[in-house]
Amino acid sequence: MTSKITSVTVSPEASLELLSPSEVDQLVKQTDPMLFRIFRRCALAVLNAGNTNDNTAEILEQFADFDIRFVRQSRGIKLQLLNPPASAFVDGRMIRGIREQLFSVLRDVVYVTNEIRNSNRFNLANKKGITDAVFHILRNANILRKGETTPLIVCWGGHSISREEYEFTKHVGYELGLRDMNIITGCGPGAMKGPMKGATIGHSKQHQYNRRYIGITEPGIIAAESPNPIVNELVIMPDIEKRLEAFVRTGHGIIVFPGGVGTAEEILYILGVLLHPSNARIPFPLIFAAAETSASYFDTINRFIRNTLGEKAQSRYQIVIGDTAEVARTVKTGADEVFHFRRKHKDAFYYNWKLNIPGDLQYPFEPTHESMGKLNLKKDQPIHQLAANLRRAFSGIVAGNVKEHGIRLIKEKGPFELHGDPEIMEPLDELLRTFVEQNRMKIGEGKYQPCYRVVR
């Protein structure tokens, strides 16, 4: 078991916005139990960075005695941490980067609770209201910077990848850094860490001082994918749908590396957006990239997309194998096209307002046995809607694999069942079996027990 420190008190870093007296009272008196539960979960993930367990329930059980107390002070608040993971400290002092991330978590959890969930400012049952809420969360975190034209490149991929795959992501990051591009990832290990680590060298060689390594996560996944040490700007979104929207609203291009069901969920999300008829003329580079040794991974993904969504979906992305410089050149060319398009149409470069994200991809999906069983996985629907429903299927499998509530449901009622047309279910079953065979479902040892059943 990971060693712990009994008790330590830490003061805010600069990332914490000023708190009002009522917000301080809210924390000290713990008047909002949900706020406290979310903050404790996210704080533990930040403090437990570097863990190799992606089972949220097991992590929370391992650190069941971890607790947080809020201490009022004249200029705001301090945190007293009880039994935190010792890995967050060096010689008894908390690592500065972890302390910054800890108070970034507090900033976002307090803001989302008070300004998004518990106020009447945003209609979260409305598409426009959701997009406005995402904008305000990112603005409050100082992610959106008016006048900045350095491209932000989203990098998606698995947290459980091979050493060769990790090295490839790192080399791609290096090439991005050489071309003065900044990085956004899901903030975890593996393909989320590699591009950031590589970009630090590329940025250093170019004497690029505006180095941005942005990590965007959400409470349900953060314990399984603790922020990696390269992240220098961390944002906690309320749920997976708003997290995904934050990526595409702030990013100027997306690179996808090999991964598992979470990566497949991300691919289907962006395809669901780009395939919507209203987005047909909006440029947005999407590149699938892998090392030569992992070329078969995107062969499988490409075949799955062809068999389920068709050639139109295939036309929305490019596949680059083995050539890291070509990956960077391709996404840079695409980002330049995005910049010119937005300037021509008077759209902000720091937030993509013009892109239409369908409601099926915005409204939160709660995976249960009932909701998973009712997913429309049939051919007789527009392809952007089919992509959205497939996204929900993969989101449910992610929940069953690593999220606390999903793991509990599977333990109580058995695997989720997925029903649909054979033309959809057969490629889906093939893709999922490939993920299992390649050990892309979870970190750790032991045989993977599927949390799903594909019913043909």
* Among candidate residues 234, 219, 245, 242, the one with its CA nearest the CA of residue 34: 219
What does the block give as tokens for 195? 């591009």
* Among candidate residues 20, 138, 16, the one with its CA nearest the CA of residue 79: 16
435: amino acid identity, one letter:
F
What does the block give as tokens for 307? 């068999």
- Determine the Cα–Cα distance for residues 99 and 84; give it in Å rounded to an integer: 12
Going by C-beta distance under 8 Å and a sequence separation of 6 or more, which residues neighbour residue 163? none
* Among candidate residues 73, 68, 258, 283, the one with its CA nearest the CA of residue 172: 258
Residue environment code for 103-122, b if the CB has 16+ CB neighbours within 10 A, otherwise e: bbbbbbbbbbbbebeeeeeb
pLDDT score at 112: 95
* Among candidate residues 146, 208, 156, the one with its CA nearest the CA of residue 181: 208
pLDDT score at 1: 42
Which residues is 4 bridged to in the sheet? 85
pLDDT score at 22: 84
Alpha carbon 426 to chain centroid distance? 28
- Determine the Cα–Cα distance for residues 80 and 222; give it in Å rounded to an integer: 21
Kindly state the DSSP code that residue 85 receives in the 8-state scheme.
B
Domains and CATH numbers, the chain: 7-121 (3.30.1850.10), 140-456 (3.40.50.450)
pTM: 0.93
* Among candidate residues 141, 181, 454, 134, the one with its CA nearest the CA of residue 304: 454
Q: Using the Cα atoms of residue 295, residue 297, residue 302 and residue 303 in order, give the sign of their dihedral.
A: positive
Q: Tens place of pLDDT for every residue, the chain, 456 residues? A: 445 578 888 887 654 556 777 888 888 888 888 999 999 989 988 988 766 555 656 766 777 888 999 888 776 788 899 999 888 898 888 889 999 999 999 999 999 999 999 888 999 999 999 999 999 999 999 999 998 899 999 999 998 899 999 999 999 999 999 999 999 999 999 999 999 999 999 999 999 988 999 999 999 888 778 899 999 999 999 999 999 999 999 999 999 999 999 999 999 999 999 999 999 999 999 999 999 999 999 999 999 999 999 999 999 999 999 999 999 999 999 999 999 999 999 999 999 999 999 999 999 999 999 999 999 999 999 999 999 999 999 999 999 998 889 999 999 999 999 999 999 999 999 999 999 988 887 655 568 889 999 997
**Could you tell me if residue 178 is left (phi over 0), alpha (psi between -120 and 50 degrees) or otherwise beta?**
alpha
* Among candidate residues 355, 353, 348, the one with its CA nearest the CA of residue 283: 355
Classify residue 144 as exposed, middle or buried by CB count within 10 Å of its CB (0-12, 13-18, 19+).
middle
CB 211 within 8 A of CB 182: yes
Taking the C-alpha atoms of 267, 163, 429 and 387 in order, what is their torsion angle to the nearest 10 degrees? 0
